[in-house]
Amino acid sequence: MYDAIVAGLGGMGSAAAYHLASRGKKVLGLERHAPAHDKGSSHGESRIIRQAYFEGAEYVPLLFRAYELWEELEEETGEDLVTLCGGLMIGPEDGELVSGSVASADEHGLPYEMLDSSELKRRFPVFEPGPETVALFEKRAGFVRPEAALRTHLDRAAALGAELRFGEPVLSWEATGSGARVRTEGGVYEAERLVVSAGAWAGELLSDLGLPLGVTRQILFWFRPRGGIQAFAPDLLPIWIYEPDDGNMFYSFPAVDGANTVKAAFFRADGTPTDPNTIDRVVHDDEVDFIRSYLGRHVPAMDGELVEAKTCMYTNTPDQHFVVSAHPDYPQVLVAAGFSGHGYKFCSVIGEILADLAVEGGTRHPVGLFSPARLR
Ligand SMILES: Cc1cc2nc3c(=O)[nH]c(=O)nc-3n(C[C@H](O)[C@H](O)[C@H](O)COP(=O)(O)OP(=O)(O)OC[C@H]3O[C@@H](n4cnc5c(N)ncnc54)[C@H](O)[C@@H]3O)c2cc1C
């Protein structure tokens, strides 16, 4: 008998296992794949972290706490998990990205700088902005290292006594009075609480909830810039998200750890609907051409040799807000799903929230936006 079982030890589940174990709970973690694998949603070296949040000002208080918790984890372990190299949100002034980032920053008194097109080009010459393009520059943006952060959460959880089993998928679960019973090929386990944090597989494990989750195939590309890597060094270039005038958004990171490539991907653009069990892992020429058409026009030096490409998955809700809540029918079951392509930066605080819900039956954090009731 465990205090809590965590089903899915990816970004969110590893953080939940750590927070539960750090509160002295007897934790069993069950994971379908290996630790920090590349078959879910939490791989590919880097994830953007920022506080001016166009997706909604409601996220900002959670981001304050997420930053604090990432820092605490770094201090506790000596690991280098977060790099605050600054961030640029680039696009039309009235576009979703810039106007939403400005609104959330103003509402929460976040410091930022606005750059017009010529100032953007002067300070960051890799961009070819149109005359109407502006940018919000936020100093306290940057990136998290997802594999390192995930492993750190797992290692700390294990050091605090959590039992973590890999290559052991949860096949089914059922509520039992005030607890839950979980079945795998290896056995049957019982606990007072169950956390379901199965990423792209959440729809399978939570089919009873009928959440409208759509899984999409997303691609990460690594290009070797034309003209050398120097202009992409982290002391010269922050992370950035670019919204041209067609509603799509693409983004990139500086070249870190001596890399001679830079990563680019679409953030908001139609991802291909997929099934996590049968996803096509081959990246096709037309997909490379599509991102090249954006890089070539807006950041031409990045349109160099393609060195690597990898697939990843978003699990989207219709409104792109998360689902973090007690199960409406079984309060002993906690759900973390639908992170809609912007969840990684929050893993630290979502882990804390899941532990709050499991241990206290509630949380001081504002999670009303994440209720599954809104999606029914
Ligand atoms: C290409 C890409 C770029 C992104 N960029 C950013 C970004 O810049 N900033 C940002 O904040 N976010 C970003 N995100 C989003 C972020 O990475 C995700 O929101 C986050 O990783 C989701 O974490 P998760 O724990 O829900 O999923 P995962 O980390 O995939 O974890 C789910 C885990 O559950 C396991 N599992 C599934 N089913 C079972 C089962 N039955 N039994 C046991 N285990 C099971 C899986 O194997 C997996 O390990 C990006 C996502 C992608 C794909």
User: What tens digit of pLDDT does each residue of 228-253 get?
Assistant: 999 999 999 999 999 998 989 999 99
Is the CB–ligand 1 distance for residue 339 below 6 Å?
yes
Does the pLDDT at position 270 exceed 80? Answer: no
Answer yes or no: is pLDDT of 376 > 90: no
Q: Is 314 in the pocket of ligand 1 (CB under 6 A)?
A: yes
Look-up of token digits 């097109």:
117
CA 134 – ligand 1 centroid, Å? 32
pTM over 0.95: yes
Separation of alpha carbons 256 and 83, rounded Å:
10
Task: Check pocket membership of 201 for ligand 1, CB cut-off 6 A.
Answer: yes
Measured from the Cα of 37, ligand 1's closest atom is 49
The pLDDT of residue 207 is 96
State both tokens at 91.
């696009």
Count of H-run helices and E-run strands, the chain: 8, 20
The average pLDDT across 143-169 equals 98
pLDDT of residue 271: 85
Calpha distance 14→35 (Å, rounded): 9
Q: Is 13 in the pocket of ligand 1 (CB under 6 A)?
A: yes
Q: Which of 6, 42, 281 to mutate to test the pocket of ligand 1 (most atoms within 8 A of CB)?
A: 42
- CB distance 361 to 331 below 8 Å: yes
Q: Is the CB of 276 under 6 A from ligand 1?
A: no
* 82-83: strand order across its sheet: 47-49, 142-144, 82-83
* pLDDT at site 201: 98
Dist. CA 116–CA 219, nearest whole Å: 30
Whether 341 and 267 have beta carbons less than 8 Å apart is answered as yes
Residue 157 has a pLDDT of 98
Q: Are strands 214-224 and 262-268 parallel, antiparallel or unpaired?
A: antiparallel
**Residue 268 C-alpha to ligand 1 middle, in angstroms?**
17
**DSSP conformational letter for 225:** -
Residue-level pLDDT at 323: 98
Pick from 41, 211, 322 the residue to mutate for probing ligand 1's pocket: most ligand atoms within 8 Å of its CB: 41
pLDDT of 277 above 90: yes
Is the C-beta atom of 252 inside 6 A of ligand 1?
no
For ligand 1, mutation pick of 47, 154, 317 (most atoms within 8 Å of CB): 47
339, 340, 354, best to mutate for ligand 1 pocket (most atoms within 8 Å of CB): 339
Pocket lining: 199 vs ligand 1, CB cutoff 6 Å: yes
State the pLDDT at residue 315: 98
pLDDT (tens digit, 9 = 90+) per residue, 284-343? 999 999 999 999 999 999 999 999 999 999 999 999 999 999 999 999 999 999 999 999
CA distance 299 to 271: 22
